[in-house]
């Protein structure tokens, strides 16, 4: 099972931050203690709103880059589509 995860968090000011990790729970806690990315430190707390698992680290980093290139509107669509697919899994 792969732990290479691309994630999006929503910051307190409403902005979105995209990152890569192998442990989403630990990374979210790191962000919320102010030890994460410089971008999120001034925008706490952050809330996890999207995850995507990849087979390899390389694939995950490429996907992280691709998501970061999306417009905010496209990121919001991706988040909504992710929620819809998770809801249909239940």
Render pLDDT for 52-73 as a digit per residue (tens, 0 to 9): 999 999 999 999 999 999 999 9
Inform me whether the pLDDT recorded for 90 exceeds 90.
no
Q: Does a structural domain hold residue 26?
A: yes
Distance of CA 83 to the CA centre of its chain: 13
- CATH code of the domain in which 15 resides: 3.40.1440.10
- pLDDT value of residue 68: 97
Residue 62 DSSP code: H
- Give the mean pLDDT of 35-43: 94
Q: Residue 27: which region, alpha, beta or left (left: phi > 0; alpha: psi -120 to 50)? A: alpha
Question: In Å, what is the CA distance from 54 to each residue of 22, 32, 39, 62?
Answer: 10, 24, 24, 10
b/e burial code for range 9-31 (CB count within 10 A of at least 16 → b): bbbeeeebbbbbbeebeebbeeb
Inform me whether the pLDDT recorded for 86 exceeds 60.
no
Q: Does a structural domain hold residue 86?
A: no
Q: Does a structural domain hold residue 90?
A: no
Q: Does a structural domain hold residue 83?
A: no
- With beta carbons less than 8 A apart as the criterion, state whether 67 and 82 touch: no
């Amino acid at each position: 099972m792969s732990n290479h995860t691309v994630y999006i968090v929503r910051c307190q000011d409403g902005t979105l931050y995209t990152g890569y990790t192998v442990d989403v729970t630990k990374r979210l806690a790191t962000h919320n203690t102010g030890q994460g990315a410089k971008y999120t430190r001034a925008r706490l707390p952050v809330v996890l709103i999207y995850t995507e698992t990849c087979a390899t680290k390389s694939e995950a980093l490429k996907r992280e880059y691709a998501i970061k290139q999306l417009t905010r509107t496209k990121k919001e669509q991706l988040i909504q589509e992710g929620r819809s697919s998770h809801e249909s899994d239940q």
